[in-house]
Amino acid sequence: MKADLIIPTYRPDDTFCLLMQKLQEQTFVVHRVIILNTEEKLWKEAVEKYPIEQSLCGLPCEYTLYHISKEMFDHGGTRMCGVKHSDADIVIFMTQDAVPADKNLVANLVKGLEEKDTAVCYARQLPNENCRIVERYTRSFNYPDESRKKGKADIEEMGIKTFFCSDVCAAYRVDLFHKLGGFESPVIFNEDMFFAAKAVFAGYYVKYEAEAKVIHSHNYTVRQQFHRNFDLAVSQTMHPEIFEQISSEAEGMKLVKSTMKYLCSIGKPYLIFELGIQCVGKYAGYRLGKRYKKLSRKQILKCTMSPEYWKRLWNQEVSDGNR
């Protein structure tokens, strides 16, 4: 099967160069790397600062580079644009800060899609060396060391995690991707999870492949957690067909309790305070996001991490209203 790799970029740096270098070592060679860069000016600045061009020239496959403006970026629409430029059987989405952990990442993702009823296969995310303890545990909670194939029959047991999927590193069967309508656009967040839900409700499966591993984690500040969870809650509120049936809050509480237990077990109960502060930021953003319809536009722009999404949405509403 032929696979293309699609990577949205914005201010690429040395981690992106490392990603390109690790792609050169893969046992399964992708057909093409498709880069969807936001703001050509910023790409040129990055090229002057980092060895990006050298890393790209070392790839064992061809690559294509497309530039879009910041105003046009959309988590779903931009990735859909990448799919349109691909003629492969499988498309693999990665973010610019996800680095293959070994030489078999692509091979294991492709293997995860061998069964024709599997629509998407996503990778295990391992923490960076500088990852804080709480975030390190969160990675192990969300990305365990056992693979699992998830379908409609698993909803009762797994709840919202049945639909969990991450485009930080995930492979899609192109035939099913088109059959199910691909990603929606515009979308503020969770385009991967919404597609996974569509696939599951249509009778297909989502595969979590623990042997496909990337190194990826963040040490978010409380403010960043607030903005991120605001957008997360907005995306959920916009999809009541999924989230009114299956609550994500129960899974969040399960993670908090599990993390507290873990911190005590390793003799670091004092980190529960740090966890609590993080939870306050997350919950405040989440509750405001759930009530975004009651907020003014000015308030929304202060809460979101995606102001360009809102500006596009509001402009579209004006255009639709003038027809």
Same structural domain, 177 and 196: yes
CA dist 101 and 104 (Å) reads 8
Contact 173, 90 (CB under 8 A): yes
Please return the burial class of 218, using the count of CB atoms within 10 Å of its CB with bins 0-12, 13-18 and 19+. Answer: middle
Same structural domain, 157 and 273: no
Same structural domain, 102 and 167: yes
Query: Which residue, of 187, 215, 243, is where some domain finishes?
Result: 215
98 part of a folded domain: yes
Task: Give residue 15's pLDDT.
Answer: 97
Task: Give residue 321's pLDDT.
Answer: 62
Task: Give residue 242's pLDDT.
Answer: 85
> What average pLDDT does this structure show over 68-72?
92
What is the CATH classification number for the domain harbouring 186?
3.90.550.10
Please return the burial class of 41, using the count of CB atoms within 10 Å of its CB with bins 0-12, 13-18 and 19+. Answer: exposed
Same structural domain, 9 and 151: yes
232 part of a folded domain: yes
Query: Which residue, of 155, 190, 215, is where some domain finishes?
Result: 215
20 part of a folded domain: yes
Tens of pLDDT, residue by residue over 181-237, are 999 988 999 999 999 999 999 999 999 999 999 999 999 999 999 999 999 999 999
277 part of a folded domain: yes
Q: Residue 302 belongs to what domain range?
A: 222-320
Tens of pLDDT, residue by residue over 244-273, are 877 777 788 899 999 999 999 999 999 999
CA dist 231 and 218 (Å) reads 17
Task: Give residue 192's pLDDT.
Answer: 97
Task: Give residue 317's pLDDT.
Answer: 76
Same structural domain, 151 and 231: no
pLDDT exceeds 90 at position 318: no
CA dist 263 and 284 (Å) reads 23
- Total structural domains within the chain: 2
Same structural domain, 199 and 289: no
Percentage of the chain modeled with pLDDT above 70: 98
Query: Which residue, of 153, 180, 215, is where some domain finishes?
Result: 215
Which pLDDT band holds residue 154 (cuts at 50, 70, 90)? Answer: very high
238 part of a folded domain: yes
Task: Give residue 245's pLDDT.
Answer: 77
Same structural domain, 188 and 45: yes
Same structural domain, 12 and 112: yes
> What average pLDDT does this structure show over 238-249?
83
137 part of a folded domain: no
Q: What amino acid is encoded at 224 in this protein?
A: Q
Same structural domain, 160 and 290: no
293 part of a folded domain: yes
CA dist 190 and 194 (Å) reads 6
138 part of a folded domain: no
Task: Give residue 302's pLDDT.
Answer: 97
Same structural domain, 207 and 265: no
Higher-pLDDT residue of 121, 252: 121
3-class SS of residue 63: strand
Same structural domain, 165 and 302: no
Same structural domain, 232 and 200: no
Tens of pLDDT, residue by residue over 92-114, are 999 999 999 999 999 999 999 99
